[in-house]
Amino acid sequence: MYNRLPMRLLALLCLTSALAAAPSDTPAEVTARKLHQTLADAVVTIRATVTITVTPGDQPAQTQDRTFEQLGTVVSADGRVLLAASSIDPAAMMNGRTVNTQAGPMKLSAVSEVKEAFIILADGTEIPAKVILKDKDLNLALIAPVTPVAEKFVCVDTTVTDTVVPIDQVVVLGRMDKSFDRCAKVEVDSVAAVLTKPRSFISIHIPTTGCPVFSVSGRFVGMTSGKLTTGDDGDSEGMVPVVVPSDTLQKFLALSAAKPAPAPTK
């Protein structure tokens, strides 16, 4: 017959055993920490003032200016920023939509024009920017500083890439909004689906656009964006969060070679 261990000692042994058995960081968590430390500043805030013109049917056009903030990913040392085109084109959700009015159903015609834009860095520095490339079908846009900036930007290398399959974990860098001092953040998510038709997309669960996505190995997978869905009547129904894969982004960025950033001033 053996003596029973004192309850305090037994509890201490159980706690020690639990701590010893606790798993260390997963590969995704290790990668997330490294990326957060090295590339957090590659995610920037874009503040844009956009003029929106809406024409309901044959009625007079209505125009208003709106200012808002969205996220983008810096993809070059000279400050080119990749983002979802819809994030600076609020009219995209309204254009072609049919609305019911007292005069009957009317189809809306809506267009957006960026009046001014700023790249807001992690330290709060605001850099005037302009749109240099936009593809509505891909829902991608590229902006660049209006005049060159002497310091090099922290940027994501979009040429070192990886592919993922459903259930794979991915790391997504992001940034909180102004009310949280635009603090950098990082999340680990999982791939829900990989679509190949009619266009390649990756489905994850994070809805924020303009954020870079990486595989567990730390290689670039793509950027969060949105895909506009339409109903049977052809009206837009909403924006579904997707990741635009790296190969699509590279083709889009290659087009910007014909649209160089402003030359340095002496």
pLDDT at 2: 45
pLDDT at 184: 96
**From residue 159, how far is each of 51, 93, 100, 246, 254 by CA, in Å?**
35, 32, 48, 8, 11
pLDDT of res. 22: 45
What pLDDT is recorded for position 256?
78
Domain ranges of the chain: 27-258
Q: Check residue 231 and give its pLDDT.
A: 57
Q: pLDDT tens, position by position, for the chain (266 residues)?
A: 445 555 555 455 555 554 444 467 799 999 999 999 999 999 999 999 888 776 666 666 667 788 889 999 999 999 999 999 988 887 666 665 666 666 666 666 667 788 899 999 999 999 999 999 998 888 999 999 999 888 889 999 999 999 999 999 999 999 999 999 999 999 999 999 999 888 899 999 999 999 999 999 999 999 999 887 765 555 555 678 899 999 999 999 998 776 554 444 33
**Which residue type sits at 259?**
K
Q: What is the pLDDT of residue 150?
A: 83
Which pLDDT does position 114 carry in this prediction?
82
- Residue 52's pLDDT is what? 73
Query: Which spans in the chain are helix H?
Result: 7-21, 27-39, 246-255
Three-class SS state of 12: helix
> What is the number of other CB atoms lying within 10 angstroms of the CB of residue 210?
25
What's residue 125's pLDDT? 93
Strands ordered across the beta sheet of 220-230: 184-190, 169-175, 212-215, 220-230, 236-245, 201-203, 193-195
Instruction: Decide if 241 contacts 226 (C-beta within 8 A).
Output: yes
Q: Could you tell me the pTM of the whole model? A: 0.81
pLDDT given at position 96: 57
| pLDDT for the residue numbered 50 | 80
Specify the pLDDT at position 221: 97
* CATH code for the structural domain at 27-258: 2.40.10.120
